[in-house]
Each structure stands twice: as C-alpha cells, then as structure tokens.
Structure 1
Amino acid sequence: MNSRELDAAQAEANPQKLRTGLSRIWHAAGYSLAGLRAGWGEPAFRQEALASVVLLPLAFWVGRSWVEVALLAGSVLLVMIVELLNTGIETAIDRIGPEWNQLSKRAKDMGSAAVLLSLLLCAGIWAGAIAARL
C-alpha cells in the first residue's frame, strides 16, 4: 500500500484526518479539553489538579530563579500529565474486557508505577528547593 492509499484508508476510517490548518488546531483543542474533562472525572487527577492550584503559584515564591520556578512548576505539571496517560492506559485496557489478564494487570501496574515515579520526582524537586531556601 503506497502513501496515498494509506492516507485515503486512514481518512475513510477517521474523517478527522482530513482537517488541516486552523480547523485542525481548533478541533484538536476541543479534543484536549474533552480529555481534561474526562480526567476531572478521575479522583486521583482531581486531587492532583487541586494540589496544583496551590503549588503552581507557590512555585513563583519558592523558586529563586526562572530555572527553579520552571522545575517546580514543571514537576507538578508532569505529575498531571503522567496521571492522564495512566488513566488512558487503564481506560484502553478496560475497553478490551473486564476479565482478569496478566498482560492487562502488567500494563496497569506499569502506568501506576509511572505515576509513583513522577510523584517522587516532584516531591524531591520541591524538598530540594525548600531546603535551599531555609
């Protein structure tokens, strides 16, 4: 299958692929907002989002330079990003079927581990910045 045939097949399966320019950007923004709304339905994401309401402004007070502010704020946003990806993995696995499967468990466990690592990174960055400020 050549490139043109592949593009036609993808467009037939998903007409959104035919959009270009500002229309594509506009629709992509809508899909992103829908993803954030779906994420808000998850308790873990909601907790992290509420914590970010406090931590993001606090990053400007704790950070002594723009690099420190970027690291503090970025680590908070990274936790939320990883949580959304983990939720996406869990949702896709759940769509496959409700029955227990070792590979499904493994995928969900790895997504959860990614969230844990992002939380540890965030906590370490914040602890280091706060300790340097004392």
Structure 2
Amino acid sequence: MSNQDSSFSEFKSKSGLKRISSALCYSLAGLKTAWTHEHAFRQELMVAIPGFIVALLVPVSPVEKLLLIGVLVLVLITELINSSIEAIVDRVSLERHPLSKNAKDLGSAAVLLAVLLAMATWAVILLPLLIGRI
C-alpha cells in the first residue's frame, strides 16, 4: 500500500531522521501549547520543578530518586493526555453531551489517580527520613 492510499493519513509520519526531527518539533509545539493554554499543566509543572530538585538533593537511593521524579513526570504526562482528550471533545462539539462529559471526567480521574500515586510515593519514600530526624 502506498502513502497515497486513502486509508492512511496524509499527516502520518515520514521515515528516518526526518520523522524523528518532525516528531521532536511536534512534541515541543505540544509542550508550548500546554504551557500557554493549560492552567492545570502550568500548575503541575510549578510543583514538579521544585520536586525534581528536592528529589535530586534528598539522601535516598538512585532508584528512589527515579521514583520520586518519575511519578511527577507521570502526572505531567497524564495531564497532557487529559488536555488532548478535552481538546478533541471540544473540537467535535462544544454542545453539552453525556458522552463528552464522561470523556472529560474520565481524563480528570486519570490525572487524580496519577496525583494520588505521586503523593503516596513521596510519602512512602520521604516519611521515614522525616520521622528518623524527629
């Protein structure tokens, strides 16, 4: 099948270095869009950046540092996916519809679970350090 086949998107990726270059540009554009238009993403990033610094400075194992940073990145990833879902729903229709509400609520629930996982991970790793100092 050729790329001209109507079952393939004309926007589908290219091959080789051009694909990698294009993917990087699209990803950076997505991050810029999230920063510019998504309040929740900005708020979560403003929590994550100091969290990254704390995670690097706290006296825990490299694996624990990775977990502390990883769950913060997971929150950001989940927020980006949630924002994508919201954008698609709004693109289809701004009319209120139960399925649109479900899609947005499910995306929000995914972010909530990622945040709760991040909080639990930070508590499990850092509370023993804090209790040991008391």
Q: Same fold (TM over 0.5)?
A: yes
1:39 aligns with 2:39: no
Partner of 2:101: 105
1:10, distance to aligned residue in structure 2 (A): 5.5
For the Cα contact (< 8 Å) 1:89–1:108, is it kept in 2? yes
For the Cα contact (< 8 Å) 1:62–1:133, is it kept in 2? no
1:15, distance to aligned residue in structure 2 (A): 4.8
Unaligned stretches of 5+ residues in structure 1 = none
Q: Identify the match of residue 124 of structure 2 among 117, 128, 133.
A: 128
1:20, distance to aligned residue in structure 2 (A): 1.3
Give the alignment of 1:3-82 within 5 angstroms.
4-5=1-2, 7-9=3-5, 13-17=9-13, 19-40=14-35, 41-62=37-58, 64-82=60-78
CA RMSD of aligned residues (A): 1.7
Partner of 1:85: 81
Greater helix proportion: 1
Q: What letter corresponds to residue 75 of structure 1 in structure 2?
A: V
1:80, distance to aligned residue in structure 2 (A): 0.3
Distance 1:32 1:51 in 2: 21
Partner of 1:94: 90
Give the TM-score normalised by structure 1: 0.89
| Partner SS state of residue 96, structure 2 | coil
Identity of aligned residues (%): 43
Unaligned stretches of 5+ residues in structure 2 = none
